[in-house]
Amino acid sequence: MPPPSSWSPNRFIPSNRPILGAEEIAAVTEVLQSGMLTHKSGAGTYTLRFEEAFAKFVGAKHAIAVNSGTAALHAALLAFDVKPGDEVIAPSFSFIATTNMVLLTGAKVVFADISMDTFNLDPEKVKAAITPRTKAIIPVHLYGHPANMDPLIEMASKHDIRIIEDACQAHGSKYRGQDVGTIGDVGCYSLYPSKVITTGEGGLLTTNDEDLAERLRQIRTHGEIKPYEYVQLGHNYRMPEIQAAIGLAQVNRLPEFLNARKVNAKYLTKNLRDIEGIALPNEASWATHNWYLYTIRILSPRKRDVVQKALHEAKIGAAVYYEVPLHLTPIYRKLFQYKEGFMPVSEQAAKEVLSLPVHPALTEEEQEWIVQQSRQALAQLG
């Protein structure tokens, strides 16, 4: 089947892309003209406005801007005094920042397997992993689909465990009508260029706890409460004003971005649901997916790479997130001698997942091309 007549197959369709325009450019220009590029407390004018806008959007009392999602995760762990001898439960099927930050505190990562229907932590596996040394659980709302939070909150309450939500991919996702990142003790978001909104590099933390918010603000600026008075271990995790200015403009566009992703995801589902040999992404009855990624599963794992290669040849950025579970990456194998079979569901998912472009910048012609080429590539599965 030929592509739509006005479509140029020589233009690559990325799996995700930042959407920036006149509002972001104007905001950055204003910062540059002001000469105030950052604030030593991390609370510059644009940063404060950005924090307020994001907190309002997700329904949190506090948002704290930092310079990456990784910094947000590390700051949260520091705020809860996670240290050597402690254990933190996390999924292996995630980006490595989730668990590397645990290792940087000196604590032990305890992996728990996932549920295939959401790609998120399986509460029963988490329950089995809890010990007297468990200090925190990090549910990752992977691909933008919320983790099943109620059982995790119940376990955390029973055992006095902290919940650090890794919402780095889940801006605008909801669990039973409540924004993820506001359900546990603290939420962590990334603002990397591929995310639903971006500041180039950047991150956010959200919490409803006044004392915790104050600790996090101290941690992002070396643990300082006033000039040269340092009360705890911290870091330089400040967000520059240029990034905050971009972020403020992006938050204002977030509803528009989320709606476009939802529409694009529905289009893919409608046009791919009759194909055998694949599993389309699930949206649980209790979940509102932000469709950061539209991730299908190729049920014949050996053919996943064949499908991806065909789509790349058609200039479609079909991507695999994540082809190696964390416990099987070289660094974790070296440190802890993990073997294949340790996290069977995570390992299976890593062999099967393939994400198709679903971002708001897609044109109708690009969506048609993605469907046509996906159907053609997937037809070879039989």
Encode the chain (382 residues) as per-residue pLDDT tens digits. Answer: 344 445 566 689 999 999 999 999 999 999 999 988 888 877 889 999 999 999 999 999 999 999 999 999 999 999 999 999 999 999 999 999 999 999 999 999 999 999 999 999 999 999 999 999 999 999 999 999 999 999 999 999 999 999 999 999 999 999 999 999 999 999 999 999 999 999 999 999 999 999 999 999 999 999 888 888 888 899 999 999 999 999 999 999 999 999 999 999 999 999 999 999 999 999 999 999 999 999 999 998 789 999 999 999 999 999 999 999 999 999 999 999 999 999 999 999 999 999 999 999 999 999 999 999 999 999 877 6
d(CA 64, CA 77): 15
Q: What is the CATH number of the domain that holds 216?
A: 3.40.640.10
The C-alpha angle 191, 195, 198, rounded to 5 degrees, equals: 40
Does one domain contain both 78 and 179?
yes
Strands 114-115 and 120-121: antiparallel
Give the Å distances, CA to CA, from 279 to 79, 88, 270, 294, 342.
40, 31, 13, 11, 24
The answer to the question of residue 262 being in a domain is yes
Does one domain contain both 81 and 67?
yes
Q: Would you call 267 helix, strand, or coil by DSSP?
A: helix
Domain of residue 362, residue span: 255-381
Does one domain contain both 232 and 321?
no
Does one domain contain both 222 and 312?
no
DSSP per position, 352-363 = HEEEEP--TT--
d(CA 54, CA 167): 13
Phi, psi (deg, nearest 5) at residue 82: -70, 130
Strands 224-226 and 229-230: antiparallel
Locus of tokens 């000196």: 106
